[in-house]
Amino acid sequence: MHVQMHVGAVCLPYVSIPLRKKMEKWRVFSIFIFFLYFPQVLLVQLHASEEYARQAPRPIIVNTGHHDRSESDPQQVHISLVGKDYMRVSFVTSDKQVPSTVEYGKTPGSYEASATGEHTQYTLFTYTSGKIHHVVIGPLEPRTTYYYRCGGSGPEFSFRTPTSTLPIEFAVAGDLGQTEWTASTLAHIGAMDYDVLLLPGDLSYADLLQHRWDSFGRIVEPYASKRPWMVTHGNHDVESILSYPEAFKAYNARWPMPYQQSGSTSNLYYSFDVVGTHIIMLGSYTDFDPESDQYKWLFADLAKVDRSVTPWLIALLHTPWYNTNKAHKGSGESMRKAMEEMLYKARVDVVYAGHVHAYERFTRVYDKKEDPCGPVYVTIGDGGNREGLAMSYEKPSPSISLYREPSFGHGRLRIVNNTHAYWSWHRNNESDSNVGDELWLESLSSSSACVQTSNGQESPSKFVNDEL
Ligand code: FE
Ligand code: MN
């Protein structure tokens, strides 16, 4: 371990032998105490042991609280889609007496409707969370701005519901964390309009330090209180160690997603529909083998997809199945082997992953080979976390990898109509962002070459050209 090596290498030239022995004991003891109280350091060090060079990360920003908010005021407000025409409003209050209510309406300051939801709280080591409220409101009208207030007092927020007719625009950002790069990515996301944000895992990088979840909630609030944020988990959201085996405690308490509505039994994988698009959120850090609940749920979920209603089929997961970066090479292989065929046969259009802190886009792929009926794979783990960028790639670039760049940024998927969508990747510049990669996609549901015939046999394929 790095820390041990460092402490062990300290030179003590002027100290007597017995005193040295005593100091040695203290050193061992202090290392033990250090890891007892800061187990996340051990995790971070283990994580960092995968060797690759990364561009200098930017400083961590920690938002410790709002000076203009009282104990009873809501903080960390974020919203998520929950079934058709409903929204879940999530917020935290320090004051435990605050009711789990949300008042809302279409005019600022005048709330014609209100709803009461549920609340939770959790403890982890010496940390006790605030009161975490989740309130489902609706039915709501499409593409409409609603003004809302949480817990009966405090500041007014507003959000806009997604459109009910195409086009629709998704912002996609993975591995966000909370650094100055994160702030830059968020500013660029907020500067251009979008309907729904999709996050393929690794949210706060709390790594067991729970106040970092609170800080993350405050940092994303200006964006996540305005547009629904739909997330799946990454390895940094697991937060399980030997002395504390209950995984996903903070993630599940703070970021509940509409899993019941999609027939899933776990917040770790679910799906949802939003105009013309069926989106599947998979879990890389929960069971995915053919005997698992996730596998069976995915099979059933894909069987229910009606491409005449949702011509677009998108999947998100954390650990990429296709990756030519040296970082996390092969990490997604067991999940790919278990689930790739299901996604291929369902004619999934695009699979987004995070985990590798860089951007990469593949051609349509199945079973490691170019295939006109396979999904386009995109790695977008470049949101801005404290670990920095994954700089080194396999050389030469395999032919299935079409674009790769280790820069921070975010993506945009604009579903224009039933057949065409425009994907763009925007790298962060100092004060603005610019397009690094772009691509017109044609939905596989509209491809006569890939659509399956009624007897389940595929018709002979011809090449589908997605390039600009
Ligand atoms: Fe990550
Ligand atoms: Mn990760």
Tens-place pLDDT, residues 403-434: 999 999 999 999 999 999 999 999 998 778 89
User: Where are the extended beta strands (E) located within 357-432?
Assistant: 359-366, 369-370, 376-380, 401-405, 409-415, 420-428
Going from the Cα of 49 to the center of ligand 1, the distance in angstroms, rounded, reads 14
pLDDT tier at 452, thresholds 50, 70, 90: low
Going from the Cα of 356 to the center of ligand 2, the distance in angstroms, rounded, reads 7
- Ligand lying closest to the C-alpha of residue 205: 1
Q: Are strands 157-160 and 145-150 parallel, antiparallel or unpaired?
A: antiparallel
Question: 105 pLDDT exceeds 90?
Answer: yes
* pLDDT attached to residue 144: 98
The alpha carbon of 219 is separated from its chain's Cα centroid by a whole number of angstroms, namely 15
Tokens of 257: 């997603």
Going from the Cα of 424 to the center of ligand 1, the distance in angstroms, rounded, reads 21
Question: 29 pLDDT exceeds 80?
Answer: no
Query: How many whole angstroms separate alpha carbon 216 and alpha carbon 240?
Result: 19
Runs of H (alpha helix) within 225-328: 249-254, 293-304
Residues with beta carbon < 5 A to ion ligand 1? 175, 202
Catalytic residue among 188, 233, 318, 328: 328
Going from the Cα of 440 to the center of ligand 2, the distance in angstroms, rounded, reads 28
* pLDDT attached to residue 466: 55
**Amino acid letter, 245:** P
Q: Which residue has the higher pLDDT, 26 or 239?
A: 239
* pLDDT attached to residue 114: 98
Q: Are 424 and 418 in contact (CB under 8 A)?
A: no
Going from the Cα of 249 to the center of ligand 1, the distance in angstroms, rounded, reads 18
- Ligand lying closest to the C-alpha of residue 331: 2
Going from the Cα of 127 to the center of ligand 2, the distance in angstroms, rounded, reads 24
Question: 50 pLDDT exceeds 90?
Answer: no
* pLDDT attached to residue 456: 47
Q: Are 178 and 199 in contact (CB under 8 A)?
A: no
| Local structure of 437: helix, strand or coil | strand
Tokens of 276: 């013309």
Known catalytic residue at 328: yes
- Ligand lying closest to the C-alpha of residue 387: 1
Closest by CA position to 106, among listed 142, 151, 155, 152: 142
* pLDDT attached to residue 12: 32
The alpha carbon of 221 is separated from its chain's Cα centroid by a whole number of angstroms, namely 15
* pLDDT attached to residue 63: 78
Tokens of 217: 């909630």
**Amino acid letter, 149:** R
Closest by CA position to 285, among listed 237, 333, 321, 337: 237
The tens digit of pLDDT for each residue in 164-213 reads 999 999 999 999 999 999 999 999 999 999 999 999 999 999 999 999 99
Question: 38 pLDDT exceeds 80?
Answer: no
Phi, psi for 263 (deg, rounded to 5): 75, 10
- Ligand lying closest to the C-alpha of residue 176: 1
pLDDT tier at 108, thresholds 50, 70, 90: very high
pLDDT tier at 350, thresholds 50, 70, 90: very high
Question: 435 pLDDT exceeds 80?
Answer: yes
Q: Are 201 and 233 in contact (CB under 8 A)?
A: yes
Mean pLDDT of the chain: 88
Q: Which residue has the higher pLDDT, 429 or 230?
A: 230
| Local structure of 24: helix, strand or coil | helix
Going from the Cα of 182 to the center of ligand 2, the distance in angstroms, rounded, reads 15
**Strand order, beta sheet including 157-160:** 113-116, 101-105, 145-150, 157-160
Going from the Cα of 383 to the center of ligand 1, the distance in angstroms, rounded, reads 9
Q: Are 234 and 200 in contact (CB under 8 A)?
A: yes
* pLDDT attached to residue 54: 42
Going from the Cα of 277 to the center of ligand 1, the distance in angstroms, rounded, reads 26
Closest by CA position to 450, among listed 415, 416, 419, 413: 419
Based on the number of CB atoms within 10 Å of its own CB, is 292 exposed (0-12), middle (13-18) or buried (19 or more)?
A: middle
The sign one gets for the Cα dihedral 331, 337, 339, 345 is positive
Residue range 21-33: average pLDDT? 47
Going from the Cα of 251 to the center of ligand 1, the distance in angstroms, rounded, reads 15
Report the first-to-last Cα separation within the chain, whole angstroms.
48
Closest by CA position to 288, among listed 324, 312, 315: 315
Q: Name residue, tokens 């890939």.
A: 450
- Ligand lying closest to the C-alpha of residue 233: 2
The tens digit of pLDDT for each residue in 54-80 reads 446 788 887 776 667 899 999 999 999
Question: 459 pLDDT exceeds 50?
Answer: no
**Amino acid letter, 44:** V
Query: How many whole angstroms separate alpha carbon 263 and alpha carbon 269?
Result: 10
* pLDDT attached to residue 429: 83
Partners of residue 353 on adjacent β-strands:
379
* pLDDT attached to residue 17: 45
**Amino acid letter, 167:** P
Query: How many whole angstroms separate alpha carbon 202 and alpha carbon 190?
Result: 20
- Ligand lying closest to the C-alpha of residue 320: 2
Q: Which residue has the higher pLDDT, 35 or 105?
A: 105
Q: Which residue has the higher pLDDT, 130 or 467?
A: 130
pLDDT tier at 246, thresholds 50, 70, 90: confident
Pick the range with the lowest mean pLDDT from 50-59, 141-150, 256-265.
50-59
Question: 52 pLDDT exceeds 50?
Answer: no
- The proportion of the chain whose per-residue pLDDT surpasses 90, expressed as a percent, equals 79
Runs of H (alpha helix) within 317-397: 333-345
